[in-house]
């Protein structure tokens, strides 16, 4: 093997977009072997393994950080347009270099540590926040055969690691010695623990139906098309739709996005646990939040939206990893859209929503999934399972909400 051969392989790889990232990785490994042959030694296998790991880590971190940078400007653009503003459009074409400007601003800002703060914990908190967020993307299958670690208990591991960010938020809130911070941290703990339940419950349903905890296995279980054109994604079953919506809202709550942004609720708690953070530490929190948000939405894509599967059979010529990121981008857009629309929950209402509505609904979705499975996963099962989720939905909706709050039950008197 020589360098010219390696170079010749590049156009070949580019012709097969489906496996482009995988072949790219192989190319790098072959390049390392070639480097070894240059010096006249056989590269030991552990070096190759190490290089393999490093390539994956670099790729994931680079992709997610680029996505974070793009998202930060894209979010502001969409939010601005939804509010009939222009959004950032001064730095570079269409404001695309805004993340660079933001980064410079963040890094050159003074790093303020309150005098009474617990300085060590105050310093550690952003790191504790970022590390689990960066571990999460490792588990997601981005395309066919494109998963960094194909854990057979991937889903379990995901939730286990994801729960680490709660600790970080509490560390941040506690160490700041600020009343807003501690209130925000308390809210964050209450909120994240409550929403972990419907989150895990809706994932459990998928795991039961797919019969596996491995993300790749779950995606493969959603392959194929009903009647030749209708994708077998779980979101297109009644139970799957309900579980998907539940997962979506729990994911919003887990990543502290509006309307569940209570921990940093600006109008009440100034910035919650972030009140005393500035500069680079703040940027780390920000980054961790966004990477965590991508990861949990990537899991949503994996669990319900068919992962890397194409939505229609004739669209399979587009590489599978593209589909994954298209779906992720759509979810990211919807997050901003939700943020542009909704006011924030109040703390007690948020807890009620979690415990009185979402948790029972996730049980209903579980039963509905069971009915769907035992009725043969066909149209009959579809019907039964639709009824099984519709009844609890309207009942819970009435008892939890409409009974108390409605715009129709108000009367307004007029005097001439």
Partner 1 sequence: MNFPGSGIFKGMVVSAINLFGSYFDRAHAKRLITEQYPEERPTLPEASRSFPFLVFDGDPEKGIRCVACKICEKECPPQCILIEQDRDENGKLLRRPKVFNIDISVCMGCQICVESCPFESIRMDNIYEVSSYDRFDSLVLPKEKLLKSNEYYHSIHPTEAAETDARIEAARLKKEAAAKAAAQKMAAAKAAAEAKAAAEQSSQPESQA
Partner 2 sequence: MTEADGAGAQTLDVSLGPQHPSTHGVFRMNVRMDGETVVKLQPVFGYLHRNHEKLAEGKSWLGSMPFTDRLDYICPITNNWGYALAVEKLAGIEVPDRAEYIRVIVGEMTRIQNHTAFLGFILGDMGAWGSALMYAFREREKILDLFEGLTGARMMANYMRFGGVRCDLPAGWLEKARAYIETYPAFLDEMEKFLTGNEILLSRLQGVGVMSAERAINGGLSGPVLRASGVDYDIRKVDGYGVYPRLKFRVPRGTVGDCFDRFMLRILEIRESIQILQQAFAQIPQGPILNPAVKTRGFKPPVGEAYGRIEGPKGELGFHLVSDGGEKPYRYHIRPPSLINLTLLEEMCVGTKIADVMVILGSIDIVLGEVDR
| Binding positions for partner 1, rule: CB under 8 A | 78, 81-86, 89, 337-338, 340-342, 393-394, 396-398, 401-402, 407-408
Q: Smaller CB distance to partner 2: residue 165 or 181?
A: 181
Q: Smaller CB distance to partner 1: residue 16 or 334?
A: 334
End-to-end CA distance of the chain: 94
Radius of gyration of the chain (CA): 24
**Nearest distance in Å: CB 400, partner 1:** 8
Q: Smaller CB distance to partner 2: residue 115 or 410?
A: 410
Q: Smaller CB distance to partner 1: residue 97 or 159?
A: 97
**Nearest distance in Å: CB 404, partner 2:** 7
DSSP 230: E
Q: Smaller CB distance to partner 2: residue 249 or 304?
A: 249
**Nearest distance in Å: CB 271, partner 2:** 9
Q: Smaller CB distance to partner 1: residue 89 or 232?
A: 89
Distance, CA of 246 to CA of 382 (rounded, Å) = 19
Q: Which does 394 bind (CB under 5 to 8 A by kind): partner 1, partner 2, none?
A: partner 1
Q: 3-class DSSP state for residue 249?
A: helix
- Spell out a b/e string for 224-240, using b for 16 or more CB atoms within 10 Å of the CB, else e: eeeeeeebebbbbbbbb
Distance, CA of 271 to CA of 158 (rounded, Å) = 28
Distance, CA of 121 to CA of 98 (rounded, Å) = 31
Give every CB contact of residue 152 below 8 A, 6+ residues apart in sequence.
212, 213, 214, 217
Q: Which does 265 bind (CB under 5 to 8 A by kind): partner 2, partner 1, none?
A: partner 2
Q: Which does 78 bind (CB under 5 to 8 A by kind): partner 1, partner 2, none?
A: partner 1
**Nearest distance in Å: CB 73, partner 2:** 16
**Nearest distance in Å: CB 306, partner 1:** 23
Q: Smaller CB distance to partner 2: residue 3 or 394?
A: 394
Burial-class residue 14 by CB neighbours within 10 Å (0-12, 13-18, 19+). exposed
Distance, CA of 245 to CA of 216 (rounded, Å) = 21
Q: Which residues would be at the binding site for partner 2 (CB under 8 A)? A: 79, 82-85, 179-180, 183, 187, 258-259, 261-262, 265-268, 270, 339-349, 401, 404-407, 410-416
**Nearest distance in Å: CB 106, partner 1:** 26
Q: Which does 185 bind (CB under 5 to 8 A by kind): partner 1, partner 2, none?
A: none
**Nearest distance in Å: CB 396, partner 1:** 8
Q: Which helix (H) or strand (E) holds 289?
A: helix 279-303
Q: Which does 180 bind (CB under 5 to 8 A by kind): partner 2, partner 1, none?
A: partner 2
Q: Which does 345 bind (CB under 5 to 8 A by kind): partner 1, partner 2, none?
A: partner 2
Q: 3-class DSSP state for residue 238?
A: helix
Which is nearest to 293 in space by CA: 262, 252, 249?
A: 252
Cα-Cα-Cα-Cα dihedral sign, residues 134, 27, 214, 371 = positive
Give every CB contact of residue 50 below 8 A, 6+ residues apart in sequence.
none
Distance, CA of 259 to CA of 264 (rounded, Å) = 11
Q: Which does 16 bind (CB under 5 to 8 A by kind): partner 2, partner 1, none?
A: none
Q: Smaller CB distance to partner 1: residue 290 or 357?
A: 357
Cross-strand bridge partners of residue 225: 231
Q: Which does 337 bind (CB under 5 to 8 A by kind): partner 1, partner 2, none?
A: partner 1
**Nearest distance in Å: CB 81, partner 1:** 5
Q: Which helix (H) or strand (E) holds 231?
A: strand 230-231
């Amino acid at each position: 093997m020589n360098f010219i051969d390696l170079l010749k392989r590049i156009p070949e790889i580019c012709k097969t977009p489906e496996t482009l990232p995988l072949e790219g990785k192989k190319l790098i490994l072959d390049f390392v072997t070639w480097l070894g042959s240059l010096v006249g030694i056989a590269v030991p296998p552990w070096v190759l393994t190490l290089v393999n790991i490093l390539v994956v880590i670099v790729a994931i971190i680079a992709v997610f950080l680029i996505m974070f940078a793009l998202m930060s400007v894209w979010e502001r653009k969409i939010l601005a347009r939804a509010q009939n503003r222009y959004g950032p459009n001064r730095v570079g074409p269409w404001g695309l270099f805004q993340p660079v400007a933001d980064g410079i601003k963040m890094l050159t800002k003074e790093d303020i540590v309150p005098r009474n703060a617990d300085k060590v914990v105050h310093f550690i908190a952003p790191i504790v926040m970022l590390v689990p967020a960066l571990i999460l993307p490792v588990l997601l299958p981005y395309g066919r055969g494109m998963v960094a670690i194909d854990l057979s208990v991937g889903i379990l591991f995901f939730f286990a690691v994801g729960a680490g960010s709660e600790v970080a938020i509490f560390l941040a809130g506690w160490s700041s010695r600020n009343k807003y911070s501690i209130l925000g941290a308390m809210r964050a703990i209450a909120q994240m623990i409550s929403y972990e339940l419907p989150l895990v419950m809706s994932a459990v349903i998928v795991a039961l139906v797919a019969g596996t905890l491995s993300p790749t296995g779950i995606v493969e279980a959603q392959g194929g098309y009903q009647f030749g054109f209708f994708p077998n994604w779980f979101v297109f079953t009644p139970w799957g739709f309900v579980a998907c919506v539940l997962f979506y809202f729990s994911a919003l709550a887990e990543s502290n996005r509006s309307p569940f942004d209570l921990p940093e609720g600006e109008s009440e708690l100034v910035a919650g646990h972030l009140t005393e953070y500035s500069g680079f530490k703040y940027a780390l929190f920000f980054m961790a939040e966004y990477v965590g948000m991508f990861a949990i939405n990537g899991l949503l894509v994996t669990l319900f939206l068919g992962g890397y599967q194409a939505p229609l059979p004739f669209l399979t010529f587009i590489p599978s990893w593209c589909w994954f990121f298209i779906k992720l981008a759509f979810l990211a857009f919807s997050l901003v859209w939700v943020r542009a629309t909704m006011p924030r929950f109040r703390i007690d209402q948020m807890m009620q929503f979690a415990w009185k509505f979402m948790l029972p609904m996730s049980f209903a979705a579980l039963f509905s999934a069971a009915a769907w499975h035992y009725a043969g996963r066909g149209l009959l099962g579809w019907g039964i399972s639709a009824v099984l989720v519709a009844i609890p939905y309207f009942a819970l909706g009435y008892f939890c909400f409409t009974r108390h709050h409605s715009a129709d039950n108000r009367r307004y008197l007029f005097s001439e």
